[in-house]
Chain A
Amino acid sequence: MSKINSVGELAELRAAILDQRDAGRPCITTCLGTGCHAYDSQEVYNAFAGEIHSRDLADKVDLRGSGCHGFCEQGPIVVLSPGEICYCHVQPEDAAEIITETVLKNEVIERLLYRDPVTGRRFEREGEIPFYKHQDRLILGQNRLLDPKNIEDYLALGGYKALAGALAEMTPEDVLEEVKKANLRGRGGGGFPAGIKWETARRAPEKEKYVIVNADEGDPGAYMDRSLLEGNPHLILEGLLIGAYAIGAAEGYLYARQEYPLAVENFTLAVQQAEEYGLLGSDILGTGFAFSVKIKRGAGAFVSGESSALMAAIEGLVGEPRPKHINTAISGLWGKPSNLNNVETWANVPLIIERGAAWFKRIGNERNSGTKIFSLVGKINNTGLVEVPMGTPLRKIIEDIGGGIPGGKKFKAVQTGGPSGGCIPEQYLDTPVDFDCLEELGAMMGSGGMIVMDEDNCIVDVAKYFMHFLKDESCGKCSSCREGTTRMYEILDAITRGEGREGDLELLEELAWVMKNASLCALGSTAANPVLSTLRYFREEYAAHIQEKRCPAKVCPALIRYSIDPEICDGCGRCRRSCPEKAITGELNTPLVIDGALCSRCGICREVCHLEAIVVE
């Protein structure tokens, strides 16, 4: 590939690529994103490739391995175009039939279609499936349309058009103004207006400046940034390039989590391709703009997602936050002005530049423009990545898109915002999801994690889980955070073991106050949120643990007792065989008995019992 030397040549190349491609030709897209990959979607892809090869269909059918489509619950997902027919749970052995029936004969295979778990109705087209229908997939929707390893796919979709437009027709100030007007707020959690941050970095006196992609997505259950980087790396790179142009940076970094090897692989490849095509380097598109990108892999510390810790880590130091009395946009990486935004924020930039701030502002609500991607996980029918306009009510996300709670269980709370977020109960489900409303409820947007909990989740146990995470991930510098999270965890653990004491809740609140006010960084100052928000909405559940030594959700092992109802038990022996503690005794075909002293309350007996004879009290 020879370098593209001008904006005109980029348009010519795009035209040439489109010319070679037949838009009407059937294309089989297999999702190779994280979720589907775990379901062996690579095998499915290989099976399609084998069929196409053995039947000599290579010039009749296109095959594409794409990034995450978001509907992870139903993986491996295969989408066939034209027609956008969506098949779920596809196995390698289905490949031949799909090609014969659907690709060659246009016949839909009923059994592979998505089936609504409540109504039983099947849906043919991707866009008809309720999970997709209620979304607005401006960013994530592109994943399905391209192979992340192929820059030509991205170019064919109009990739780098925004960059070309910015370089050719806009001054850096114009770009900055557009992003400011769009009111793009940081998707990493803070919600700080990106345009203002960019402006601060641009105006900082030092000439050498940096732009950085924060891909240290560490919240448990969150994987939207991962899916964007894995599925559409050029989009992030294009956003970063535009930002660098606006800010006046010649060098950029991607700081990626150690645990995201595929994201690093695909982004590295994207950088190499962009260099080959002249989209990175010394004279980009012949405009004189110069920019290069380096990739830095994290070493596994959650706190390295904090801006100053992240920059310390890039410098080769321990990823520990430092005081930010002068913010990093003025004095960041190596003391130079450094603009850090997360993956999803950068992904929005090309769209804003191409379609304009006015278009972007029309999506979402007054103070929160654009869409936000959430990872919807936990006790929900449709686990996956969901992209909706800001301000969409929680209920729509959980019920219409998420398909509600499995097994007819009752909704209890949704935890938003990662470990430093909060739990929102049923009565606030009609709250619009945006940066401001969530904060008012004592939760936060965070990077977009959304964990749904049902009546079987114990709220004290949930708070304990998050506090365990935070005490392990505190860097340990500030005594208030290090000792505070450790002590909070100890108190929560004691409560779940039935050793809670009068005054524990007040002590938790006191610790929360000092952690919030005395800690240096956001990890410490928000670490108490999971406890504070659950205390706010579920105080009586804490009280039941402490005063009555009772776990209402029947989760905390020390506070529950398993027994077998002799009226129901038929002595089949399933539970006796499965019990890891050998706590179940008795003659077969007569009611069995659990020895409470041996029982570890693991719940396996309850799962294997075919008669619901296991009683938990």
Chain B
Amino acid sequence: MVHLVIDGKGFQAEEGQNVLEVALENGIEIPHLCYHEQLSPYGGCRLCLVEITRGARTFLSTSCTYPCLEGLVVRTDTPDVLRARRLVLELLMPLAPEAPRLQALARQMGVTETRFASDEEVDDCIRCGLCIRACAELVGAEAITFSGRGERRKVEPPFGEEALNCIGCGACVFLCPTGCLHMEDQDGVRTLDKWKRTLSLKACASCGRRYLPFAQIEFARQKGEDPPAEGWFEFCPDCR
């Protein structure tokens, strides 16, 4: 156990926990977009900046990547922290101008507009990498990754071709904070347009609804830590 102070209040934390995790657990709100408690911290969106005092040094750092250390003093609401977060949000907004979560954050943080224009073509992706980490760490499929550097950085299947490792589970779609990923089931086929992936769906033995990609069933059988009992996938969740 280590002791740290956040906004003047003392807290205990497990060693290895990060500052954002402890703040959120204790009801201290810190805006964030690329952090998820089930995934490794990444520190890409830079929204969860806080002011950290460690020994004689005081500086800004992302709270999601900062480990809780004995005696750490954290402030989440100094003028510098708020100013930096607002500017970071202004920089992110043009990437996904319509995204409700960004708009909600902007309202909360008092950002009325961004001074930066959107490109002609906007893909609504803020390069937070949640989809990549979910695919690699939660699912274990590793179907997508970042490609390119700087402003050319984007999330792609290998070589920009069809994501052959994608099992169509939709974890990426579910976690995407801007809603820039789309998954559609139609005529027994699931399509994830951004990953150029189409997958055939298995029909429920009872209601006939085609509900789950064969690839996902196969993946669960082969790679799942605790493969479900034989016949589990014959029925959809509603009929099970």
Contacts of A480 on B, CB cut-off 8 Å?
46, 84, 87-88, 91
Contacts of A483 on B, CB cut-off 8 Å?
91-92, 95, 116, 151
10 other A-B residue contacts (CB within 8 Å) besides A318-B146, A475-B153: A475-B149, A477-B127, A479-B91, A479-B92, A482-B127, A511-B87, A513-B84, A513-B87, A514-B87, A518-B49
Given contacts A318-B146, A487-B116, contact A517 B151 (CB under 8 A): no
Given contacts A479-B45, A479-B46, A507-B115, contact A484 B91 (CB under 8 A): yes
Q: Any chain A CB within 8 A of the CB of B31?
A: no
Q: Can you name 26 A-B residue pairings with CB atoms under 8 Å?
A: A301-B149, A323-B61, A323-B66, A325-B66, A471-B151, A472-B149, A474-B151, A475-B150, A476-B152, A476-B153, A477-B43, A479-B88, A479-B92, A479-B126, A483-B91, A483-B95, A483-B116, A484-B91, A513-B84, A514-B83, A514-B88, A517-B59, A518-B49, A518-B84, A518-B87, A518-B88
Given contacts A479-B127, A487-B91, A517-B80, contact A471 B150 (CB under 8 A): yes
A482:B87 contact, CB within 8 angstroms: no
Given contacts A318-B146, A514-B87, contact A482 B153 (CB under 8 A): yes
Chain B residues near A (Cβ < 8 Å):
42-46, 49, 59-62, 65-67, 69, 80, 83-84, 87-88, 91-92, 95, 115-116, 126-127, 146, 148-153
Q: Any chain B CB within 8 A of the CB of A485?
A: yes
Q: Any chain B CB within 8 A of the CB of A520?
A: yes
Q: How far is the CA of A514 from the CA of B60 in the complex (A)?
A: 10
Contacts of B67 on A, CB cut-off 8 Å?
325
Q: How far is the CA of A323 from the CA of B61 in the complex (A)?
A: 10
Q: How far is the CA of A482 from the CA of B148 in the complex (A)?
A: 12
B84:A476 contact, CB within 8 angstroms: no
Which applies to chain A's interface (DSSP): helix, strand, loop or mixed? Answer: helix
Contacts of A476 on B, CB cut-off 8 Å?
127, 146, 148-153
Contacts of A303 on B, CB cut-off 8 Å?
149
A477:B44 contact, CB within 8 angstroms: yes
Contacts of A486 on B, CB cut-off 8 Å?
150-151
Given contacts A479-B92, A480-B91, contact A514 B84 (CB under 8 A): yes
Q: How far is the CA of A518 from the CA of B126 in the complex (A)?
A: 16
Q: Any chain B CB within 8 A of the CB of A519?
A: yes
B46:A518 contact, CB within 8 angstroms: yes
Contacts of B42 on A, CB cut-off 8 Å?
477
Q: Any chain B CB within 8 A of the CB of A478?
A: yes
Taking the closest CB of chain B, its distance from the CB of A386, in whole angstroms, is 32
Q: Any chain B CB within 8 A of the CB of A206?
A: no
Q: How far is the CA of A507 from the CA of B117 in the complex (A)?
A: 14
Q: How far is the CA of A513 from the CA of B87 in the complex (A)?
A: 10
B65:A478 contact, CB within 8 angstroms: no
Q: How far is the CA of A478 from the CA of B126 in the complex (A)?
A: 10
- The 4 tightest CB contacts between A and B, nearest first, are A476-B153, A483-B91, A474-B150, A514-B87
Contacts of A510 on B, CB cut-off 8 Å?
87
B91:A473 contact, CB within 8 angstroms: no
Q: How far is the CA of A463 from the CA of B44 in the complex (A)?
A: 26
Indicate which residue in B43, B83, B149, B150 contacts A323 across the interface (CB closer than 8 Å): B43
Indicate which residue in B49, B146, B150 contacts A485 across the interface (CB closer than 8 Å): B150
Q: How far is the CA of A479 from the CA of B151 in the complex (A)?
A: 10
Q: How far is the CA of A473 from the CA of B87 in the complex (A)?
A: 22
Q: How far is the CA of A472 from the CA of B24 in the complex (A)?
A: 35
User: Chain B: which residue is nearest A476 at the CB level?
Assistant: B153
Contacts of B49 on A, CB cut-off 8 Å?
517-518
Contacts of B115 on A, CB cut-off 8 Å?
507
Q: How far is the CA of A474 from the CA of B115 in the complex (A)?
A: 22
Q: How far is the CA of A303 from the CA of B65 in the complex (A)?
A: 20
Taking the closest CB of chain A, its distance from the CB of B69, in whole angstroms, is 8
Residues in A536-587 with C-beta less than 8 Å from chain B: none
Contacts of A478 on B, CB cut-off 8 Å?
43-44, 46
Taking the closest CB of chain A, its distance from the CB of B78, in whole angstroms, is 11
Contacts of B126 on A, CB cut-off 8 Å?
479
Q: How far is the CA of A483 from the CA of B60 in the complex (A)?
A: 18
Contacts of A513 on B, CB cut-off 8 Å?
84, 87
Q: How far is the CA of A518 from the CA of B92 in the complex (A)?
A: 14
Contacts of A507 on B, CB cut-off 8 Å?
115
User: Chain B: which residue is nearest A320 at the CB level?
Assistant: B146
Residues in A484-525 with C-beta less than 8 Å from chain B: 484-487, 507, 510-511, 513-514, 517-520
Contacts of A520 on B, CB cut-off 8 Å?
43, 62, 65
Indicate which residue in A318, A475, A517 contacts B84 across the interface (CB closer than 8 Å): A517
